[in-house]
């Protein structure tokens, strides 16, 4: 298998957008008989602009230019929209969705316009339902787990707590995120990550500080952790995503992706239409294309992520589905998914993480 890396995507993005936006069949007529035209602005994670994800949109709207802009983390996306950034679609993850709604940044969705909603499990849709209305359409879900260089370790980790194993000293990398590491510390100490007390929060800070002798570095993006593991500098990478595992495996690097006894961590991300969107009709067209069976099957096959369209599991490469246990209800049931945080919780977790990193 050949996996597409994010940095390669960046090199071809401009050409792809231009070719797809300008080509295709005759455009459908709008209510006045005119072909749809203009620009659809999408605020997106890098890597999700691939034309396979919106081929049906391009076919239906050949005179529309799709203009992608990118954010590197949820905090950045939320902050930009809160300051008035103009876009027609945004693609944040579920831990932030409540904040978008509370701040009036997105509009409730008309479910009758979502062509593929019937094929989405309610267990995922529930994350996007806030105050009884659907504000976000789930698109992808995925794991965060422990990635291991099997040729470098004598003892394979089986738990998040094994990140502290002295055998790995100087060869561990973890994701540089206060929220993420609060959850890791909570799981190791047996706490509910989203309902910790002041005493428990202090215990988490202490536990994370005790991990520092094992750390080589904190990783901040996909390409960085791939390089660190491929070089052999990192033997155990915490919070790695499935596409990291698949890319390294495809390149012949001996790696394993484990299921910790406490459960993998997980995330659900999806599309919302901002309250000030200018191209609402086109935004619905794009969501319908992106959640189609073809687009969702491509997502599983290329990135190893779970797809919101449940039909895609049967259509995808069975080797990938089995390898990452995407269709295994037992794995999902024990996955610890990110939940919405209050601004106070988020500020506390970030502050505590800063304390950990500053500690000697």
Please give the chain's pLDDT, 360 residues, in tens: 333 333 333 333 333 343 344 333 334 444 444 567 799 999 999 889 999 999 999 999 999 999 999 998 898 999 999 999 999 999 999 999 999 999 999 999 999 999 999 999 998 999 999 999 999 999 999 999 999 999 999 999 999 999 999 999 999 999 999 999 999 999 999 999 999 999 999 999 999 999 999 999 999 887 899 999 999 999 999 999 988 998 999 999 999 999 999 999 999 999 999 999 999 999 999 999 999 999 999 999 998 899 999 999 999 999 989 888 888 877 778 899 998 888 899 999 999 999 999 999
Fold equal for 6-141+267-326 and 142-266+336-358: yes
pLDDT score for 271: 98
Interhelix angle 178-189/198-210, rounded to 10 degrees, is: 100
Q: How far apart are CA 342 and CA 88, in angstroms?
A: 26
Q: How far apart are CA 171 and CA 215, in angstroms?
A: 6
pLDDT score for 254: 98
Write down the residue that tokens 């052999």 correspond to: 232
Q: How far apart are CA 123 and CA 341, in angstroms?
A: 19
From the list 146, 10, 122, 88, the residue with the least C-alpha distance to 281 is 88
CATH superfamily label, 142-266+336-358: Periplasmic binding protein-like II (3.40.190.10)
For the chain, what are the domain ranges? 6-141+267-326, 142-266+336-358
CATH superfamily label, 6-141+267-326: Periplasmic binding protein-like II (3.40.190.10)
Q: Which helix (H) or strand (E) holds 100?
A: helix 97-102
Residue 25 phi, psi (nearest 5): -85, 180
The full DSSP string for 171-225 is: -EEEE--HHHHHHHHHHHHT--TTS--HHHHHHHHHHHHHTGGGEEEEE-SHHHH
Q: Model's pTM, two decimal places?
A: 0.79
List of long-range contacts for 117-120, beta carbons under 8 Å, 24+ apart: 119/293, 119/309, 119/310, 119/311, 120/291, 120/308, 120/309, 120/310
List Cα–Cα distances, 183 to 144, 151, 195, 214, 219, in angstroms: 11, 28, 11, 19, 17
Can you read off the two tokens belonging to residue 140?
Answer: 């992808």
**Contact, 339 vs 182, CB < 8 A?**
no
The full DSSP string for 1-45 is: --PPPHHHHHHHHHHHHHHHHH-SSPPPB-TTSPBP-EEEEEEEE
């Amino acid at each position: 298998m050949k996996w597409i890396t994010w940095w390669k995507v960046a090199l071809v993005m401009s050409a792809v957008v231009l070719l797809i936006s300008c080509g295709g069949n005759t455009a459908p007529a709008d209510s006045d008989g005119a072909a749809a035209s203009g620009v659809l602005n999408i605020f997106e994670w890098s890597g999700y602009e691939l034309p396979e994800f919106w081929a049906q949109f391009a076919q239906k709207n050949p005179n529309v230019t799709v203009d992608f802009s990118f954010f590197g983390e949820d905090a950045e996306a939320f902050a930009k929209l809160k300051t008035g950034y103009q876009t027609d679609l945004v693609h944040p993850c579920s831990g932030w969705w409540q904040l978008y709604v509370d701040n009036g940044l997105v509009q409730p969705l008309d479910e009758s316009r979502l062509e593929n909603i019937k094929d989405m499990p309610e267990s995922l849709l529930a994350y996007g339902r806030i105050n009884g209305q659907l504000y976000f359409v789930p698109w992808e879900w995925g794991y965060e787990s422990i990635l291991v260089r099997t040729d470098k370790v004598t003892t394979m980790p089986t738990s998040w707590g094994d990140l502290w194993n002295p055998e790995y000293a100087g060869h561990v990398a973890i994701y540089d995120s206060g929220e993420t590491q609060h959850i890791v510390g909570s799981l190791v100490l047996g706490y509910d990550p989203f309902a910790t007390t002041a005493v428990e929060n202090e215990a988490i800070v202490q536990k994370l500080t005790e991990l520092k002798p094992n750390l080589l570095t904190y990783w901040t993006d996909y390409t960085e952790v791939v390089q660190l593991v491929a070089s052999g500098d990192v033997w155990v990478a915490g919070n790695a995503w499935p596409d990291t595992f698949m890319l390294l495996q495809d390149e012949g690097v001996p790696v394993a992706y484990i299921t910790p006894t406490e459960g993998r961590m997980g995330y659900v991300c999806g599309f919302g239409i901002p309250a000030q969107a200018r191209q609402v009709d086109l935004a619905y067209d794009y969501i319908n294309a992106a959640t189609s069976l073809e687009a969702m099957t491509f997502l599983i096959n290329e990135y190893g992520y779970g797809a919101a369209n449940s039909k895609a599991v049967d259509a995808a490469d069975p080797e990938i589905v089995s390898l990452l246990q995407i269709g295994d209800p037992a794995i999902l049931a024990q996955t610890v998914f990110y939940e919405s945080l209050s601004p106070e919780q988020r500020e506390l977790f970030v502050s505590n993480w800063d304390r950990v990193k500053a500690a000697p």
